[in-house]
Amino acid sequence: MTGTIASLADLARADACGRVVIKVGSALLVENGQPRREWLAGLAAEIATVRARGQQVIVVSSGAIALGAARLGLAKGGRGSLADAQAAAAVGQIGLGGLWAELLGHHGLTAAQLLLTLDDLEDRRRYLNASATLNRLLEAGAVPVVNENDSVATQEIRFGDNDRLAARVAQAGRADAVLLLSDIDGLYDRNPKDPSAQMIPLVRGVTPEIHAMADGGSGSGLGSGGMTSKLQAAEIAERAGIALAIINGTYPSPLARALDRDIGTLFVPRRRDSGRKAWLGGRMKIKGALVVDDGAAKALLSGRSLLAKGVREVVGEFARGDVVEVRSTGGAALAKGLAEYDAGECTAIMGRHTDEQAGVLGYAPRSAVIHRDQMVLL
């Protein structure tokens, strides 16, 4: 990160925002099963302007399912069943990638297609691999166009919405900011249909109050986003020190409208975890949980490792190295971290002092159940 992002206008400054992810949803891209070519051509022209300012761009584009469903004549926009969505995506992605390649090509820009599954970004090695590919593409001058690999992703292991995918891609691509193009100006403090609803221009930290403002569900019925998934994306981004903006994509030149006229909601990060911790914090698949007593909870918050002594309960089946959540006895999620023991071993040593553990385990215990270097506070 080279400068600080404090306003939407900063997102147009190469010194503050050298690398940006632009996420485009299905409702903006597809109308009646056909691509909205004219609008998309306008966005491609804006992306060329961003590039000409010296900023690198990664696009996260939805639309494969909506395009493919129309082509195959599938009901409910291809979202009636997982099998329909998978088939629709396989058909639609060809056209979607081609469209981006063509429209960016008009500006001398080379599009590069990347289809990722949730697991590609949850597994550390594959994540680093995707990260290296994105980096190389950007250095080589291409515009990566990313979508979820919907044809192979199954229900349990899919993002399902491209908002969170965009935030994870921003982490992997070491971007400074994410722009989520929505069908609304930004985040409102209550249902935007309420005439007294106010748009929130700046958010520092996605608190429970902020969550309460989003009502969930996708307005358009075409995509699967909605404000809830946008806030989840903002949380993933914030953990990695990445700014995120929700802006209205429905206008002909949406980037200029939002950034020049300061219309949208900007989420500014409060912290920047190390790359590894940010990846860990953004992980979405949790294998189990450790419920800890108040003393251990306090120790964690002051930056200490989690010791077996403070563990009260072990939830789920996990192996050493899996991501587990640390919870208070009241059920609040306190942290996420990599377990040093499998679930059975955790159960055997919980509540015990370090000097009692060797006898139970049959080998010298590790220094902690979750080491502080492998843990991120939530």
Binding site for ligand GLU (CB under 6 A): 25-26, 62-66, 89, 147-148, 150, 161-162, 223-225
Taking the least distance from each CB to ligand GLU, the nearer of 39 and 318 is 39
Residue 187 Cβ, how far from ligand GLU at the closest point, in Å? 18
CB of 34 to ligand GLU, least distance (A): 14
Question: Rounded to the nearest whole angstrom, what is the least distance from the CB of residue 89 to ligand GLU in the complex?
Answer: 6
- Cβ atoms of 325 and 314 within 8 Å: the answer is no
Of 215 and 294, CB closest to ligand GLU: 215
User: Between 218 and 357, whose beta carbon lies closer to ligand GLU?
Assistant: 218
Closest CA to 57 of 165, 149, 137: 137
Please state the closest distance from residue 93 (CB atom) to ligand GLU, in A. Answer: 7
Nearer to ligand GLU, 34 or 198 (CB): 34
For ligand GLU, give the closer residue by CB, 78 or 282: 78
**161, 279, 284, 176: which is closest to 230 by C-alpha?**
161
What stretch of H or E contains 244? strand 243-248
Task: For residue 168, give every residue at least 6 positions away whose Cβ sits within 8 Å of its Cβ, in sequence order, or none.
Answer: 121, 159, 236, 282
Min dist CB 29 to ligand GLU, Å, is 9
Nearest-approach distance from CB 147 to ligand GLU, in angstroms: 5
The stretches of the chain forming alpha helices (DSSP H) are 26-29, 37-52, 64-72, 82-105, 118-122, 124-139, 162-172, 208-213, 226-239, 254-261, 275-282, 294-301, 343-349, 354-361
Task: Report how far apart, in Å, the C-alpha atoms of 371 and of each of 95, 231, 329 are.
Answer: 47, 29, 20
The least distance separating ligand GLU from the CB of residue 36, rounded to whole angstroms, comes to 14
Buried/exposed code over 341-363 (b: 16+ C-beta within 10 A; e: otherwise): bbbebbebbbebeeeebeeebee
Q: Are strands 19-24 and 56-61 parallel, antiparallel or unpaired?
A: parallel
Q: Closest CB to ligand GLU among 131 and 147?
A: 147
Q: Which is nearer to ligand GLU, 113 or 133 (CB)?
A: 113
CB of 14 to ligand GLU, least distance (A): 28
CA angle, 41 then 44 then 49, to 5°: 130
Report the residue number, 150 or 176, with the smaller CB distance to ligand GLU: 150
What string of DSSP letters covers 283-331?
-----EEEEE-HHHHHHHHTTPPBPGGGEEEEES---TT-EEEEEETT-
